[in-house]
Amino acid sequence: MNRDLPDDLREYIKTPNKNLADRVDNFWRTATPIWDRQSRPGSNENGLAHVMMVERNAWRLIKYSGKVSDFSANELFLLSCGACSHDFDKGLFDKLPDGVEHGKGKYKKRVSSPFIKKNKI
- Measured between alpha carbons, how far is 41 from 119 in angstroms, rounded to an integer? 32
What single DSSP character describes residue 101? P
| pLDDT tens digits along 91-120 | 555 555 554 455 555 555 555 555 455 545
Element counts in the chain: helices (H) and strands (E): 7, 0
Domain residue extents for the chain:
9-118
Instruction: Round the average pLDDT of the chain to a whole number and report it.
Output: 77
Q: Of 98, 99, 117, 96, whose CA–CA distance to 34 is shortest?
A: 96
| pLDDT tens digits along 13-35 | 998 889 999 999 999 999 888 77
- Based on its alpha-carbon atoms, the radius of gyration of the chain, rounded to whole angstroms, reads 15
Pairwise pLDDT comparison (90 vs 72), residue with the higher score: 72
Contact yes or no for 1/58 (Cβ under 8 A): no
Contact yes or no for 59/9 (Cβ under 8 A): yes
